[in-house]
Structure 1
Amino acid sequence: MKRINVVGTSATGKSTFSRSLAAKLGLHYIELDNLFWLDDWQECPDEVFFAKIESEAAKAAAGYVIDGNYTRAIPVKWAEIDTVIWLDLPFPVNLYRSIKRAVQRAWSKQNLWENSNNQESLQRMFGRDSIVWWMITTHRRNRQKYLRMMNAPEYQHIRWIHLKSQKQIDAFLQRLNA
């Protein structure tokens, strides 16, 4: 495992897991949200986003852990990938975590990513662009998509690790210490 992409629905703990995994394996951490989101919730154009991914991967001679989905970026982010780790928590767990995280972020008013000024707000949390609503509407679709991808011939060269509970996630990270 030297070139890893951690995927999963919002609020599965991808960022926390990815940072820990990168640290334990001594790999470069790449957060796709940080590369994609510009100030004031503006989206990065695909060609710029893809170039940012390629640039970050090029900095990582020893390997990297990419944190995030962004299906449209698969040709770029999976060009040299050897492992996909899918964090696939049950819907109630994701719903609880989404709400909790959104409230905490709205309360703290912290910037969400290093490279942008974006913050969560109560107005945004209950609006059409809510991360909670996004999780609700994409949870089932993401599960179906990753199940298809795991079995797709074009991705059989990739090692898939499917973690379905926080207990499995914690055990996976713990095994890396052994």
Structure 2
Amino acid sequence: MRKIILIGSGGSGKSTLARSLGEKLGYPVDHLDVLLWRSNWEAVSREEQLQIQHTLTSRDTWIIDGNYGGTLDLRVNAADTIIFLDLPRTLCLYRALRRTWRYRKIGRPDMAVDCPEKLSFDFLKWIWRFPIDKRPSILSKLTALSDKQIIHLTSRRAVKQFLQSLPET
């Protein structure tokens, strides 16, 4: 595990696990939400998204968290390890709501500057429908990858056990 991506629903714990992995493994961690947004929720151009991710994935070791389906193949192809956080949608919804409340007046550490935490019906709907709309295609993509280490975590306990199983650096 030297080049790791984390994917999963909003609220699944991608950023939290990425930070924990970075501390445990000593690898740099990049949160796509920090890099692919400018202030006031202005998205960077597709060309800039690709350039940023090419730069990130050219390093010897890295951890990148974020879905961004339009550029997922770039990260999948460069990664040697893909971690899919496939947690229950009720847990993901709860975490998204809790995160919104926690960061309601301050910026999130894994979000671009001047992008205040917000919660919309569309985001909640995306989380709720993730198992129906996104999960099947993710599982299909992961099943087709024979040359990658796939780590499919489906519970908080599995995430904790995975972290505990890693050697200290």
**How far did 1:111 drift?**
4.9
Question: TM-score scaled to structure 2, two decimals?
Answer: 0.89
Contact 1:112 1:119 in 2 (8 A): no
What's the secondary structure of 1:52's corresponding residue? helix
Matched, 1:119 2:116: yes
Runs (4+) of structure 1 moved beyond 6 Å?
Answer: none
Aligned to 1:93: 91
User: How many Å separate the matches in 2 of 1:120 and 1:38?
Assistant: 14
| CA distance in structure 2 between the aligned counterparts of 1:9 and 1:111, rounded to whole angstroms | 17
| Aligned residue number for residue 110 of structure 1 | 107
TM-score calculated relative to the size of structure 1: 0.85
In structure 2, the CA distance between the partners of 1:143 and 1:23, relative to structure 1 (3 Å rule), is same
Matching residue's letter, 1:162: H
Give the one of 124, 127, 130 matched to 1:138. 130
Could you tell me how far apart the structure 1 residues matched to 2:157 and 2:89 are?
Answer: 16
Task: Give the count of matched residue pairs.
Answer: 168
Q: Does the 8 Å CA contact 2:31/2:111 hold for their aligned counterparts?
A: no
Whether the aligned pair in 1 keeps the contact of 2:87 and 2:155 (CA below 8 Å) is yes
For structure 2, the residue ranges without an aligned partner over 5 or more in a row are none
The structural deviation recorded for 1:110 is: 2.2
Corresponding residue of 2:50: 50
Counterpart AA for 1:81: A
Determine if the alignment matches structure 1 residue 161 to structure 2 residue 158. no
**CA shift at 1:87, angstroms?**
0.7
Aligned counterparts of 1:26 and 1:173: Cα–Cα separation in 2: 13
Amino acid at match of 1:67: D
- In structure 1, the gaps of 5 or more residues are none
Q: Please say if residues 8 and 86 of structure 1, whose CA atoms lie closer than 8 Å, have aligned partners that are also in contact.
A: yes
Q: Structure 1: how far apart are the matches of 2:44 and 2:79?
A: 23
Offset, 1:85: 0.6
Residues 161, 46 of structure 1: alpha-carbon distance in 2 compared, 3 angstrom cutoff: same
1:73-126 CA distances to partner (integer Å, 9 max, x unpaired)? 1232233211101111011111211211122222x33256464310024xxx2x
Query: Would the aligned equivalents of 1:112 and 1:120 in 2 still touch at CA under 8 Å?
Result: no
Distance 2:68 2:30 in 1: 13
Alpha-carbon distance in structure 2 between the residues aligned to 1:57 and 1:36: 15
1:113–1:16 distance in 2 versus 1, CA, 3 Å = closer
Partners in 2 of 1:87 and 1:97 — Cα distance? 13
